[in-house]
Amino acid sequence: MTDSSDLLDRLRTSLLAAGLGPTRLDIAPAADPEGRTLAAGLVLLYPHQPAGDGAPHLVLTRRTTALRRHSGQISLPGGRYDREDGSLLRTALRETEEELGVDPANLTIWGRLEPEHIVASHYALAPFVAYTPRRPEFVPAPAEVAEVIDVPLARLLEPDCVEEEDWDFQGRTRRVSFFRYGDHKIWGATARILSQVVGLLDPARAADDTFVGAAGETGRRRLAPGDVWPHSVRQSP
């Protein structure tokens, strides 16, 4: 198990060193040059006291099957940019409050990550990173959130967290890479954003392309978490 005692300090320091810190985030976004719909999500970090040691966690949600887009999939809290938000950061905060009842006033913004393109819905998703010193009392919106998932930050750094499987998309078999947490498979744009977090925490691990499977399979190149091969219909949460 990865020592989680300094993970938060390492992440915050890495965000600053990479020029991804909390400056000039609350500004109106420019239109996407490729006409993609603007959206934002939040990587929300907090100590999870019920775990016994206050280890840092982040929150994901399993979307309800009633939603039109990416139903039943696991995602960060977030959603589509509204001009009234004024900035993509405020979109991320608004959506997190609407989906999980988290008051933005209790959060400290640490920075941002690089945007991700969601091909299936033609979205440009801007991820932000925030911290709160106590686990929020999540109040999930029943129309949107089927399950709240507390993921230990250290779990993402464990070698056996990344798996690959063959899935069927539109009648064609494709290889999918994902983060495994219990019974949950975290894939697509959510996995790619979490891969950015892994890269900031442990650049050497993020660069390692040797696949190690649960059954001990080794020695071949692996997909990055969130990738689908072939790429022709790359879907994501």
Domain ranges of the chain: 7-22+37-229
Q: Provide the whole-model pTM.
A: 0.87
pLDDT of residue 154: 94
CB 151, CB 60: distance < 8 Å: yes
7-22+37-229 fold: Nucleoside Triphosphate Pyrophosphohydrolase (3.90.79)
Tokens 């932000």, located at residue: 128
Query: Do β-strands 37-47 and 123-131 pair in parallel, antiparallel, or remain unpaired?
Result: parallel
Q: Work out the pLDDT band at 1, boundaries 50, 70, 90.
A: very low
In total, the chain counts a number of residues equal to: 237
Rounded average pLDDT over 95-103: 97
> Mean pLDDT lowest for which of 56-70, 93-107, 120-134?
56-70
Instruction: Please list, in sequence order, all residues whose beta carbon lies within 8 angstroms of the beta carbon of residue 216, skipping any fewer than 6 positions away.
Output: none
- The percentage of the chain sitting over the pLDDT mark of 70, rounded to a whole number, equals 82
Please say if the pLDDT value at position 213 is more than 60: no
Q: Work out the pLDDT band at 3, boundaries 50, 70, 90.
A: low
CA distance 59 to 43: 7
pLDDT of residue 221: 59
Please say if the pLDDT value at position 220 is more than 80: no
CA distance 164 to 236: 15
> Mean pLDDT lowest for which of 61-75, 90-104, 170-184?
61-75
pLDDT of residue 158: 92
> Mean pLDDT lowest for which of 15-24, 74-83, 89-98, 172-181?
172-181
Tokens 């099957």, located at residue: 65
pLDDT of residue 118: 85
Average pLDDT along the chain: 86
pLDDT of residue 85: 98
pLDDT of residue 151: 96
pLDDT of residue 214: 46
Phi, psi at residue 175, to the nearest 5°?
-85, 130
Please say if the pLDDT value at position 191 is more than 80: yes
Query: Do β-strands 184-186 and 116-118 pair in parallel, antiparallel, or remain unpaired?
Result: unpaired
Please say if the pLDDT value at position 142 is more than 60: yes
Rounded average pLDDT over 27-35: 94
CA distance 118 to 124: 6
